[in-house]
Each structure stands twice: as structure tokens, then as C-alpha cells.
Chain A
Amino acid sequence: MKPVLETRDLQMIYHVGKVDVPALRGVNISVGAGEYVAIMGPSGCGKSTLLHVIGGMLQPTTGRVEIDGEDLTTMTDAQRTDLRRRKIGFVFQRFNLFPTLSAEGNLKLAERIYSNSKNGGDAARRHEVLKLLKLENKMKHKPLELSGGEQQRVAIARAIVNRPAILLADEPTGNLDSENSTIVLEMLRGLNKEFGQTIVMITHNPEAAALADRIIEMRDGLVVS
């Protein structure tokens, strides 16, 4: 099976003043279509950096990243942004919804970016996503009127409404209590099962990781297992 995501000897060195901070020191991972992968590792080992590079938000120092057959590392900034628009969905620890917009407004704005046109987006797709995430009754609410779990579900809906090739989640339950964490994790599981959504999720929580198909362990900028 052709992988949806593949990295080859990925290195990322941050330059802080005159000091070089190596965050990734040769990462090789491969994620197949429909896989649900958890990334674990101690704080500072380079998990977020890896996710940002995969998502085309950071240009690596050396190495290659292929998303769905497209090589990110040879692209311009604008091309990477466009690839992100077409193929990648992001979910963050802090939800990152637009606070002034309702849940629906957040979704519509994303659809407008995704479709690059004024059409109302894919209504059927929106419907199935909202149904799976149990958000149908929450769409008129603004983020501050929603619980953390609901906000994160809106963020997930926003990330996948465009059917991205891969969903990248950076500690999606990091800001949630255990009850809401469970709900969100179950929904991610369901997304993967029902829509075959490929997911790469960073987590510190072993129970969360246990729900994934596979766990990638990182340490000091390297994959250890």
C-alpha cells in the first residue's frame, strides 16, 4: 500500500542566536492510508516540530516529506500553503477557533478557504461530519458558549470537512478533562473507522495512544520505536 505520509531523514535545526537547537535529527516515518498513528515522547523531543514540518508550516533543514505523493520539501511557501489547504487538516491543543464566529461560521470560513470559491461547500459532507461529531445542535453557538470538548469537536469538524488526506492533531485532549477527552478520542477513533480518515496524533496520554493502530515513540529528535 502506498503511504499517505512518508519522511526521509528529516532534520530540523532551530537557530537561536548563535546556538543551534537540533529538534529533529533524522526522522523516518511512514503512515499508510487509513492508519491511525499516535506519536509519544517526552517534552521537547520534537513532536510538534515534526507535525509542523509534515503540515507544511515549517521548512525542514534537510530531508524529504511526501504527502499523498507530493514532495513538500521542494515546494515554495505558497505551494505548501496550497497543499495544506487541499490535503491536511490540523487540530490543536488550544482548539484555535475564531472566537467571534459561531461554530457554523468557523466551519463556513474553512470551507471558503478550502473551496477557494463562493459555493456553499459540500452540504452532504458537512452533514455526515456534524452527525458523527454530534454537533448538529451546537452550530449557532460561539466558542465561548461551548464546552472545551464541544469546541474541540468543532475544530475537528473544521479540519476534516474538506476530506483531507491526513489529519494532524497536536495533543487534541491536552486541554480537556478526562470525560471530554474520552468523547473526543472516541470520535477520532470513529472518524478513522467510518471514514477511513488517516490520523497522526501527538499525545502524552498512554490511554489515548492505546486507541491508535500504532504508536511512534520519539526521543531527542529521533524515532526510537
Chain B
Amino acid sequence: MDNLIVENIKQRPLRTAISVVGVALGVILIVLMVGLARGMVRDSAERQGNVDAEIRFLPTEISSAAAANPLMMPARFAEVIMNGVQPTAEDPDLQAKPPIAGVSATTPVGEFIQNSESGIGFEYVDGIDFPSFSKTTRITMVAGRPLTDGKAPDSAYEVIVDRYYFDNNKDVNRQPLQLGSKIKTLGHEFSVVGVYEPSMLARIKMPLHTMQQLLGGAENCTFIMIRTTQPALAKSVKEALESNYPGYHAYLTSEIPALFSQGIRPLEIFLDVVIWLAVVISTLVILLAMYTTIIERTREIGILKSLGASKTFVVMTIEKEAALISALGVLFGFVVSVVGKYALEASTRLKIDIEPRWVLIATVVGIGCGLLGALYPALRAANLDVVEAISYE
């Protein structure tokens, strides 16, 4: 390693430290924010996939109205898919639908996304019809009792939660959860009446009927989960569903985690903003640090040039110094990020995924910005007038 560069870095420990922290900040921003976003998405995605139902059936067009009201699909389709339907005397307009072969159970699910209680990220709530839900999935109650249909006034505001939620959350009075505790969701207080396992879909589940009432009354759901008689039939059931119900799409549950982490637009925009923020911070910090450095070392740069150092040599000397500082910053940033990940995961419900891809991106951003930020000071140094520079006080 070049002595001059190392000595220069040691010469001004405070400035070096500030630059290192500046670059580290960019790295931490990328690694932790991206890690957080992706960790939370993965966590939800896993729970989305963690059901025995092989198929999820939902409207093709998730219109903007769906954002306001996620209940856009008739809940009675669940019944129709199993048993088929014919027009009746009371309802002659009803379209005839055959029962779909190979289906063993169906259940309508309402799914609502809300801002999480902690204010960071988002949280799902499900509305379910417990009897059909338990036939379609492997849900089991490990404490308390199942949900009712929610139609009786005294049982409408009840929820069941998964084990993780039960163990890690507080009730409205900031007390650890117990059966009978009150929690707030969808703007109302609900009693926790049971704990289920395993985690699937949203951690909090209320009667679908209650969700329908709270979101406008229609007898709708967000999607229908379908269990086939044999997993091998999933593809053919999917095709039968799509040909009988134009305007609806059937996803294999196994595809869902992948779909999930792809298409979250606002999240992608957020991550872009985070990366640009990191770029700006790292570049500016290095730019300022190296700029003050070359002002302070004007005479030394003059000496280099008087010895016959080319512009390239001067630029490289400064760029190498910036690269070394950035590399230290990247390293420091990773250490803080890893420590931060474990600290946050231990003390909150946040999930942080540190993925190699993003570690690589953070490294490239950190070092790239260091080089970029140093470029202007380096070019200025290279173009200094040598006689003026060596007589600089």
C-alpha cells in the first residue's frame, strides 16, 4: 500500500473518521432499509404460502378501488365452486356454473392491509369463515377457542392471533397479551379469543362477516382459497376455474411468495429513494473531505508535480485515498448493519434480510461514490499551477 496515502489518512484522524462514518451511513441505509423491507415482505410472503390450499382465486383486475376496499369478490363463489349453481325461480338471472372437479374444500378470505401499530411498515388482517377455513388449511387452535361467524353482536369483535403475535405483542393497555385481552385493529377494539398455529396469511384473523360490516357491508371477500383432492390436480383445477370464471385468476399457492416480492411498486420506489439518498450522502461526504484535504495539501501536490508527477499520478493518489476511506466506510457500515440487524430483530418484531445482492450493491455504491466524490477535488489538484502550489503557505 502506498505510504503517502496511509500517512495522509492517519494525519487527520477526525476527518478520516467523519468520512468513514459518512460512507458507512450510506451503506447502513441501504443494507438495513432494504433488508428491512425485504425481510418484512418475505415474512408476509411466507405466511401467504404457508397454507395447505393449493390455489388462490381472485379477481384479475386489482383496480384502484381495491386499495380502498379489498373486498371485491363475491364470497358465495366459495360455495359455488364446490357445488355449482343453477338459476332458480327467485333468481332467474343467476348464471349457471358447474361444480369444479377435484376440489375438496374452499374458503373465502378477506384481507386488509393497514399501517402497522409500530408505525414502521404494514400489517395484514384477515377476515375468515372459520369452519371452511379449517377445512381448507391446517389451522389448529393451541389456546382459547375458534372464531364464530361473527353475526351475533356479542361475538362480532373477536379475533384469533398466531402464536408469534400472541407472544410478542401488547394489548391496548400495554400489557402482554392474554386470552381476553383487547387489541386494536381496523380502528376497533377486539378481544383475543384464541391462538392458532401455524402462522399463515395475516397474524390477526377476525370473522369475515365483521370485516364485511366494517368495510361497507357487501358479502364479498378478497380471494378464495381452494384445496384440491390431490395436489397433482392443482393445474387442472386452476384451468377449469379460469375457463368458468372469466375476469378471475387462479394462482398456485407455491407461486405466491415469488409474486409477492416482485410487484410491490411503492416499496420499489422507496428502495430507489433510499439508494439515491445513500449515493448523495456518500458522495458529498467524500467530496467535502477530499476537497479540504487538497486545499490543506496544496503545497504537497505542488511538490509531487515539481518531481514530475503527471496529472494521472496526482488524480490516482487522491482517488486511492478516497477508495481506502470508502472501503473502511463500507466495512464499518456492514459491521453496524449486522449488529443493527440482530439488535432490532431481538428487540422488535422487525425482520431484516441481509442479502448478498444488496451487500454487493451497497459496496459498489459506497466505493463508487467515494471515487466519484473525490473526482472533482482530484482533478482540481491535478490542474493546480505547480509554481503557485509549491509557494502556497
Chain A positions within 8 Å of B, measured between CB atoms, are 52, 55, 57-58, 78, 81-86, 88, 90, 92, 96-98, 100-101, 105, 108-110, 113-114, 158
Question: Which of B7, B305, B387 lies in contact with A101, CB distance below 8 A?
Answer: B7
Interface centre among A52, A92, A96 (most CB of B within 10 A): A96
The closest CB in chain A to the CB of B306 belongs to A90
Docked CA distance A82–B305 (Å): 10
Determine if B3 and A109 form an interchain contact, defined as CB atoms under 8 angstroms apart: yes
Residues in chain B near residue A114, CB distance under 8 A? 307-308
The number of inter-chain residue pairs (CB within 8 angstroms) is 63
Docked CA distance A97–B310 (Å): 18
Residues in chain B near residue A78, CB distance under 8 A? 310-311
Question: Which of A58, A105, A108, A110 lies in contact with B7, CB distance below 8 A?
Answer: A105
Interface of chain B, helix or strand or loop or mixed? Answer: helix
Residues in chain A near residue B386, CB distance under 8 A? 57
Determine if B311 and A100 form an interchain contact, defined as CB atoms under 8 angstroms apart: no
The closest CB in chain A to the CB of B305 belongs to A81
Determine if B310 and A109 form an interchain contact, defined as CB atoms under 8 angstroms apart: no
Query: Is B299 located at the chain interface by the 8 A CB criterion?
Result: yes
Chain B positions within 8 Å of A, measured between CB atoms, are 3-4, 7-8, 10-11, 299-300, 303-311, 313, 386-387, 390
Residue pairs across A and B with Cβ atoms less than 8 A apart, 15 shown, are A57-B386, A57-B387, A58-B387, A82-B310, A84-B306, A85-B310, A90-B307, A96-B306, A97-B303, A98-B7, A100-B7, A101-B3, A113-B304, A113-B308, A113-B309
Interface of chain A, helix or strand or loop or mixed? Answer: helix
Determine if A101 and B308 form an interchain contact, defined as CB atoms under 8 angstroms apart: no
Docked CA distance A108–B2 (Å): 10
Question: Which of B8, B303, B390 lies in contact with A100, CB distance below 8 A?
Answer: B8
Q: How far is the CB of B317 from chain A (nearest CB, A)?
A: 10
Residues in chain A near residue B8, CB distance under 8 A? 100
Q: How far is the CB of B207 from chain A (nearest CB, A)?
A: 74
Residues in chain A near residue B309, CB distance under 8 A? 81, 85, 113
Docked CA distance A101–B303 (Å): 13
Residues in chain A near residue B300, CB distance under 8 A? 98
Determine if B308 and A84 form an interchain contact, defined as CB atoms under 8 angstroms apart: yes
Docked CA distance A105–B7 (Å): 10
